[in-house]
Amino acid sequence: MSLDVDPPEPPELAAVDPNEYEDAEVAGGEYRRDDLEALLREGAWEDAFSEWTAGTDMDEADWAIAVDLGLVSRFDFFWDDFADRVGYHAPGLPEDWKERDLHPDLDSWGTVSAINAGLTELGQIVCETLKREYIDWEADFDAPDDLPDFDE
């Protein structure tokens, strides 16, 4: 499937400790958000978004809800020096979406699941695009000398 929508502006990355997210555990304290935000604006966001829209299962109605709720602006991306990767936190709809009456077109768990899964996939593709095509720095983490050598 594909989604025929224009890419939104890339998110502005806030100074949040990624360890505060339930789904992230990051060592170190230099998250390089300014560098990542610059790379997103230089084309990484648009490249990743284009790749994502070509294969996402989200439809235009699901995307419209995500945009109306401002979910895209709540993405977070950060450098994880220990793992030599870009980490992310994808926004999503809460389990109590129905009680909170978040959006008039939000009427099923299927829609909630499609939006949450779609945004998670977008976040992953953004991370992969950044690492593969835009980041030219190396991790500063030096492993201790006493780690076992698994190649032997």
Q: What are the extents of the domains in the chain?
A: 32-134
Q: For residue 79, what is the DSSP state?
A: E
Q: What pLDDT does 2 receive?
A: 83
Q: What pLDDT does 146 receive?
A: 57
Distances (CA, A) of 75 to 37, 43, 120: 11, 16, 10
Q: What pLDDT does 147 receive?
A: 54
Question: Taking 80 as the threshold, does the pLDDT of residue 134 lie above it?
Answer: yes
Provide mean pLDDT across the span 120-145. 82
| Residue 128 CB burial class (10 angstroms; 0-12, 13-18, ≥19) | middle
Distance CA 89, CA 46 (A): 18
pLDDT tens-digit profile of 1-51?
689 999 999 999 887 655 566 655 656 667 788 899 999 999 999 999 999
pLDDT tens-digit profile of 56-105?
999 999 999 999 999 999 999 988 887 788 989 899 999 999 999 999 99
Q: What pLDDT does 26 receive?
A: 59
Please, how many CA atoms are within 13 Å of residue 89, restricted to the half-sphere of its CB? 22
Q: What pLDDT does 50 receive?
A: 96
